[in-house]
Chain A
Amino acid sequence: MLDALNQLRADALAQLAPIWDAAPLEEWRVKFLGRKGALAALMEKLGALPKEERAAAGKLANETKRALEAAYHAKTGAMKQRALSETLESEPLDVTLPGRPVQRGRLHPATQNLREIYRIWGDMGFQVFLSREVESDEINFQMLNIPPHHPARDNWSTFYIADSDRRLLLRPHTSPGQIRAMRQLSQGGTQPLRVILPGMCYRYEQISARYEIQFNQVEGLAVGRNVTFADLKGTLIEFARRMYGDRPVRFYADHFPFTEPSAQMDVQCIICDGAGCGVCKFTGYLEILGCGMVHPQVLRNGGYDPDRWSGFAFGLGPERIAMLKHSIEDIRYFWGNDLRFLEQF
């Protein structure tokens, strides 16, 4: 009996080894472990054994049963494992194939650029004030210390509106917004003010790689009881640092009729890091904005008493900034709106 059990176990295990499919495995199970299988048949005969043999044979029969069951489960596991490996290996992907395209929309680079500028100034408490694009000569020039026929007008090549007796124009700069912002927000010159004034400006220029007839400008204005030229320097340096990284800046005297003192701010050339290149015309620096202390008369025109209030203002050209940052050689790309350009942003 013991021999028969051992033989059965050896046969069963030997037959199990080559099985790798579900149907033969089931056949094997029925054949050896089934209710009418070989092991059951042997176990049925246990009762007929002499008493002294029965215990040993019973023990071996149980061991054999456990061993075969364990082998069966191991086989099932191994087969699952093998089947999974086969599936996993059967359909490898060429992962270098392009993915399914996403139809992504994009903001115009001018908008992206403006948003970055809004964010930086917003963090410093300067909020956006939107002002009009068609302006009156009075607000655009006269309120900014530029009377009719003043020589400073040469600096703004202006489009005038027909039939307005030159009293209406397309704003050539965002500075008239200073007057509107002060009048609207200062509560009669009693509240401090920090605003930026973004928007489209227009100049009568021959369109070329460098000049456009329309362009964005962002004006900034801070008025307070205690705002100084040192504040102007410090605040603009903060802006430049966030916009261009930590690089040297320099201020030098310039002229705008609506600020005094007036200054120009340069930042070390972001192309050559100050070594000198064609972009910075070999000066090592790039002109990035004009600025100055708000002229007392302009403060007065905005409703402030210049003896108690002071302020600074600045103006910068977002498209110029973008051109520098992305090495864009032609300003006409902006309003040309060629998708091949826009899709690079």
Chain B
Amino acid sequence: MKLPLSWIRDYVDIKIAPEELAEKLTFAGLEVEQTEYIGVARPPGLRGGHAAWLESGARPELAWDRSTLFVGQILEVKPHPNADRLTLAVVDYGRAEPIQVVTGAPNIQVGDSGQKVAFALEGARLFDGHQDGWKLMTLKKSKIRGIESGCMVCSEKELGLSEDHEGIMLLPDDAPVGAPLADYLADVVFDIKINPNMARCASVIGIAREVAALTGQPLRPIPQKVIGKGAPIEGQVDVVIKEPSLNPRFRLALVRGTTIKPSPFWMQRRLALAGMRPINNIVDVTNYVMLETGQPLHAFDYDKLVERAAGAPPTIITRLAQPGEELETLDGVKRKLDPFTILVCDTRGALSIGGVMGGAASEVDARSKNILLEAAAWEYINIRRTLAAQRLSSEAGYRFSRGVHPTQASVGLNRAIELMRVVGGGEIAKGIVDKYPGKPKKIVITLPVAEVKRQLGVEIPAKEIVRLLESLEFQVKAQNVKRKTSNLRSPITNLQVTVPDHRLDVDGTDDLIEEIARMYGYENIPVSRMNDELPPQRTNLDLDQEEAVRDILIDAGLQEVVAYRFTTPEREALLTLPGAPRPAFPARAYVRIENPISAERTVMRQALLPNLLDLVAANLRYQPRVALFELGPVFWLRGANDALLPRETATELPEDKDIQLPLERRRLGIVLTGPREHVSWHGSDTAPMGFFDLKGIVEALLEGLHLSATFAPADDPLFHPGRAAALKFDAQAIGVFGELHPVVREKFDLPAQAVLVGEFDLDALLARVLPGHKVNALSRYPGVAQDLALVVDENVPADRVQALIAQTGGALLQRVVLFDVYRGDQIPPGKKSLAYSLTFQASDRTLSDADASKTREKIVARLKREIGAAVRGE
């Protein structure tokens, strides 16, 4: 909220520079986000925010020179001899002789006198009122239509106050003639961020109270004197509160015979500096007092209420909205009211939404004479609910939704009704109607002195604690036990702290300690490192494994990505052909977003690949080769067949039992496309990556995790037929990978090149990882290498051949490497040749060629028998 310091000064003396004050407030939790300097120079440097202001391109600030700009008074306005539109004004500025200036201002006329103005002498620095934007100029002597003048009466624009250059600025009648303008009108405006716990500071008095506490100055109370000499209010209006818990207090005062007119200059000016638009004196008073005291007020046209009551004294009823009830509010919107909305009504119906916004029917207008002024208290949660439901915001709603203590209703009402009398005339009816069914209890908290040290880690003497709390108007009684044996008192052990009336946010020792810390200064609390017991240390296996997978994959040359976890079901449906089954991605209920940010992000993803494929498409615009992976959760609503993982069971709380939290399962997605290597002058392998590039990475991952799995042909419509494999442990498939089906590829706007994709259930994969793996002993004896070229039927899978070789070779066969697969010349159709390099080695002796050949023959015999293999060339 924006507040001019001049207003705060009404309630506390400020003896430090604005920058220093801004810093103190910021450190105490009232962040001064911006400071506006009006007519005074912004100090250079960081604390004045000079550079920030220059950079912001905001309206320039102009420091008013105390030797050339004054409060002046027009003594006489004479016609200009040579121009109809211009006049000559004789201005007294408190020094030397009055000076005659030429002006074209439409708001002074020949014959006028007595107006107070902002008067500029020759040499004054001002903004040029005739130019667009903000151009500085120095006032020089010049002839205007034959009359020489070096001085000027100023418009608001010329002074940098507003863009108004319609006429000259007229100052209030009590402006002191001859005073430097800077002394009279200059100001500094703080824009302060009010955190929810600082709701009490959304007011001049709230800030002034903090200023007083932080700077050690006394706080002056808000004037409460009311001169109420009119006929009593009693019998003129009645109040009925139906929901005391939502409306603990309702006060009314009446002022008769008011004249609606613009409010005085000083009030308009302060409202404007605080960012509110002046309207008329009555509305302005309600706003002014709300800003000053934090208590929102509402003014009714009393006569309209009487009229609605058919001439009888009106009865104000506060109650919940009835089903289907509607109200047209001041902003011209006809609103359907929710059943929890609390209303201010009369016997005819709703007048306003309590604490939020007035209705059109009882609004004060230019003809209003008798004003009924409301100051009430409302339960803040309910106000907030109403604001949210009505999508409404108002200054009153802002304050009530953060909490205004019911006692403030008297402070605000007294201040406002008296101000209305002063600025609007008329007479205040004697007395006040005050219904107060929800009077809050005084809050008294026992604060053990030791608690302060326990929480803050600093020993603050009890006396100092008392002083800090009292500076914020807490009443503190020290409790110290008189010792029986002597007159000495024991040290103070407990403080009885009574919370002041304006506070709604303090109800425990923790709140008091926060206040003590704020006033003591966070910067004064010492710095220590924990000397507390070290907690039981734990390894996070889930995280360690996850990170291990990342490391293996980047070692394999893949780039990690982290994609959005939002998508749409439609996008994910592209992973398959319409109507085809999706074994890799079974249909599960989506975690849908109630309030999505866009149509592209309506659900949480169930698969990683769609977003990854989008990323691939985007990246292929800039580079030919993309090889990436993502490791992260996918989400779905827990179905009847979904068993919880141990991790999920362990973290489940009793609170979760009745709510069915969705499942979050970790997945791994990999995508490869483009040339195997980047082009380089060394001559690189730029053949497109294919199925076996991806399979190599999957194998590297398994090897890195010390897992052995099997691969089986996968029949999934996501993939190119015949180019996909399932990764299996026993019968459990935990992922599929292969070349993306060309039709799917096109749906993701990918170019016509092989795109290899894989998605794996990482939780299932990692569940297979054993804590340690066995390492084989190393043989000291030389081995024997022999090649074995086989011819087998085309449909015999390679891993079957290899498994047979390994099994038959037994312990002597150390290594089997498939080094060639061949079809063509010399190989009959329907057959293929597989060539293996076999390494035989014993752990206890040097093998002879004969030993090796014997084993090799056994292998060949078994292969012949079981898969009809022939040795090539035999």
Contact = CB atoms under 8 A, between A and B. Distances in A.
Interface residues of B, number: 109
Query: Among B514, B526, B558, B684, which residue has the most Cβ atoms of chain A within 10 A?
Result: B514
Interface stretch (B226-234, B303-311, B451-459): B451-459
Contact of B560 (A107, A131, A148, A338): A107
A338 B457 contact: no
A234 B566 contact: no
A339 B537 contact: no
B49 A282 contact: yes
Given A115-B547, A207-B597, A255-B29, A226 B531 contact: yes
B385 A110 contact: no
Interface in A84-107: 97-98, 100-101, 103-107
B619 interface: yes
A228 B559 contact: no
Interface stretch (A7-15, A63-71, A178-186): A178-186
B595 interface: yes
Contact of A226 (B517, B532, B618, B656): B532
B455 A129 contact: no
A122 to B, nearest CB: 10
Given A136-B661, A339-B619, A162 B594 contact: yes
A296 B510 CA distance: 7
A204 B562 CA distance: 19
A20 interface: no
A342 B559 contact: yes
Contact of A161 (B456, B533, B592): B592
A296 B508 contact: yes
Contact of B526 (A184, A193, A230): A230
Contacts of A148: 381
B594 A160 contact: yes
Interface stretch (B192-200, B492-500, B704-712): B192-200
A51 B651 CA distance: 114
A234 B530 contact: yes
A253 B510 contact: no
B543 interface: yes
B443 interface: no
B502 interface: no
A228 B455 contact: yes
Interface stretch (B261-269, B673-681, B724-732): B673-681
A53 interface: no
B204 to A, nearest CB: 20
B662 interface: yes
A98 B681 contact: yes
A233 B458 CA distance: 12
Contact of B656 (A108, A128, A136): A136
Contact of A252 (B457, B522, B601, B604): B522
A231 B550 CA distance: 35
Contact of A335 (B385, B525, B550, B564): B564
B17 interface: no
B626 A276 contact: no
A36 interface: no
Contact of A339 (B31, B388, B591, B622): B622
A294 to B, nearest CB: 9
B26 interface: yes
Contacts of A179: 653
Interface in B474-527: 508-511, 513-514, 517-518, 522-523, 525-527
Interface in B24-62: 26-29, 31, 46, 49-52, 55
Contacts of A185: 535-536, 538
A128 B604 CA distance: 24
Contact of A149 (B384, B595, B626): B384
A166 B538 CA distance: 35
A61 to B, nearest CB: 54
Interface in B599-633: 601, 604, 615, 618-619, 622-623, 626-628, 633
A127 B540 contact: yes
Nearest to B546: A130
Given A149-B381, A228-B454, A339-B626, A214 B653 contact: no
A261 B513 contact: yes
Given A204-B597, A260-B514, A310 B454 contact: yes
Contacts of B513: 260-261, 293
A100 B678 CA distance: 10
Given A229-B456, A254-B29, A162 B592 contact: yes
Given A161-B591, A230-B456, A253 B597 contact: no
B593 interface: yes
Contacts of B628: 337, 339
Given A101-B680, A229-B517, A260-B514, A337 B530 contact: no
Contacts of A257: 196-197
A231 B530 contact: yes
A313 interface: no
Interface string B545-570: 00100100111111111111110000
Contacts of A226: 454, 531-532
Contacts of B626: 339
Nearest to A200: B565
A183 B656 CA distance: 13
Contacts of A289: none
B195 A284 contact: no
A188 interface: no
Contacts of B382: 149
B653 A106 contact: no
Nearest to A136: B659
5 A-B pairs with the lowest CB-CB distances in the bound complex, closest first: A228-B457, A230-B457, A253-B29, A105-B554, A224-B532
Given A130-B543, A228-B528, 6 more contacts: A106-B559, A127-B537, A150-B196, A191-B535, A230-B525, A234-B530
Interface of A: 97-98, 100-101, 103-108, 110-111, 115, 125, 127-136, 138-139, 143, 147-152, 154-155, 159-164, 166-168, 170, 179-180, 183-185, 191-194, 200, 202, 204-207, 213-214, 222, 224-231, 233-235, 237-238, 250-255, 257, 260-263, 276, 278, 281-284, 293, 295-296, 310, 334-340, 342-343
Interface of B: 26-29, 31, 46, 49-52, 55, 195-199, 380-382, 384-385, 388, 401-403, 453-458, 508-511, 513-514, 517-518, 522-523, 525-540, 542-543, 547, 550, 553-566, 591-597, 601, 604, 615, 618-619, 622-623, 626-628, 633, 635, 650-651, 653, 655-656, 659, 661-662, 664, 677-678, 680-682, 684
